Amino acid sequence: MHNKGISKRLIGSNAEDSAVEFLERHNYKIIERNYRSHFGEIDIIATDKKHTVFIEVKSRNTYLFGSPYESVVKEKKRRITLTAIDYIQKKRLANKPLRFDVIAINPDSSIELIKNAFDAEFR
């Protein structure tokens, strides 16, 4: 019997590991992984020069349903925003500039960093 949940979780974890390696090579400092609040989860929280960066990692093994980046839909952005606010409040980072990035791991295993991928989404 094949357990899709475990394999999906493993794929996601491998994608996040690849994203962390990529980010570190590009001078991001990883602060936290898989930060959870009751709103949702943020895959990676890092700093990039002066910004606190909230990073969503998406991977796809086919373009059949679009690019990995396209799967970060409005509701996902809203949950990431609310989770980021929770993090900012708990860590008292209210005056620090922030940004939302997406790491897309494409079917050919290439990695694409989309800086400022979206603005905070509240609706």
Q: Tell me the CATH number at 73.
A: 3.40.1350.10
Is the entire prediction scored with pTM above 0.85?
A: yes
Question: Domain range for residue 73?
Answer: 4-114
Domain tally, the chain: 1
What's the rounded Cα separation, in Å, for the pair 98 and 87? Answer: 12
For the chain, percent of residues with pLDDT exceeding 70: 89
Read off the pLDDT of residues 50-61 as tens digits, 9 standing for 90 and up. 899 999 999 887
Residue 2 pLDDT greater than 60, yes or no: no
Query: Does residue 119 lie in a domain region?
Result: no
Query: Does residue 36 lie in a domain region?
Result: yes
10's CB contacts (< 8 A; 6+ apart) are: none
Query: Which pLDDT score is estimated for 105?
Result: 92
Q: Is the dihedral of CA 66, 68, 70, 72 positive or negative?
A: positive
Query: Does residue 121 lie in a domain region?
Result: no
Query: Does residue 43 lie in a domain region?
Result: yes
Query: Does residue 66 lie in a domain region?
Result: yes
Query: Does residue 120 lie in a domain region?
Result: no
Query: Does residue 68 lie in a domain region?
Result: yes
Residue pair 34/43 in contact (Cβ under 8 Å)? The answer is yes
Query: Does residue 123 lie in a domain region?
Result: no
